[in-house]
Chain A
């Protein structure tokens, strides 16, 4: 999941561009009544202007530094930080409980709808991932259009650049979604619509058969595993008993230890009893393992996972 998009970062213009932009901004100020008072304070032609870090252009006048009104200085793109006008807007929205509540309600409703689609999957009539990917694709396409338009029409250079960059990112994301959607359709067939409902239903049947086959093969493997385990344990036990018998004839063994060993051998169950107990134990384990597998597969609608496991078998 990608994180929240990065905030726009301004680029630095050449000195000449800045000079022209400042002159344009000054013209704007002079034409705008709202900035009449600011215009009256404009520096003389003889004043030097310097560029300082942060939003705004600072003039070094005889009376001291004079900073161009913020709203206009932003258009000169002089800051390496995101201009304040956007930050303030974002800050205002961030504090809105009503917007937060609306967002959560919308999301909750949307997820509930998606969960209804999920219920249909159980009957083999739909797939949940496809509609999610399709909706994402359409939403990304709408965003790209908006970004491209704004990259052409926004007043401020920093916004035009930011929108162009966002359009590029959104295109990249859209490509990824298109690839995933295509892979998904390759695996699970074409769109689920009224017109191909029968086809989807057929796939649902295929899905059930695959699921059954997967379980059967899993059981078969578990049974093999259990038999192998039985043989291995019996072989180890026979070896252990043989070694105990050999030890009885060891000349280095003293009488006391020999008596203990004889007692241990006497207490051992017969091999028939040992084998019967082992079989019983393994049978219980096998039953538990198969039940667990059945439970996992039956309760999972993640056909991707078990289908790929099926292929691995």
Chain B
């Protein structure tokens, strides 16, 4: 299932065909995930970074537990990155539309 939807994109002036939409959605998801990851890393102090790097061998559940304990405002971090990226789409809708048409 796509994270973005065409109705939303069209409402901010971005009209894409099927292929362009699929590529754009993928780019959006990857960019968002990378930024959230970067933002989480930024949030950690040096000791926490060391602990996180030691979790490399652990499973996903361990990581989630660790994140819940160490980053209490992880939901806000994710929300902020989403808001920034959506804001960028709104800001640059005309250029995006031109470059994909």
Contact = CB atoms under 8 A, between A and B. Distances in A.
Interface of A: 1-5, 71, 84-86, 88-100, 102-104, 106-108, 110-112, 114-115, 118, 121, 128-129, 132-133, 135-140, 142-143, 146-147, 150, 154-156, 159, 163, 166, 173, 176-177, 180, 300-302, 304-305
B49 A85 contact: yes
Contact of A4 (B35, B52, B87, B94): B35
Contact of A304 (B10, B13, B40): B13
A139 B84 contact: yes
B3 A108 contact: yes
Given A4-B35, A86-B49, A129 B12 contact: yes
A2 B91 CA distance: 11
Contacts of A86: 41, 49
Contacts, number: 169
4 pairs of A and B residues whose beta carbons are closest in the complex: A136-B87, A88-B53, A139-B80, A118-B11
A136 B32 CA distance: 14
Contacts of A143: 39, 80, 84
Residue in B46, B81, B90 with the greatest tally of chain A CB atoms within 10 Å: B90
A89 B55 CA distance: 9
A97 B96 CA distance: 29
B41 A89 contact: yes
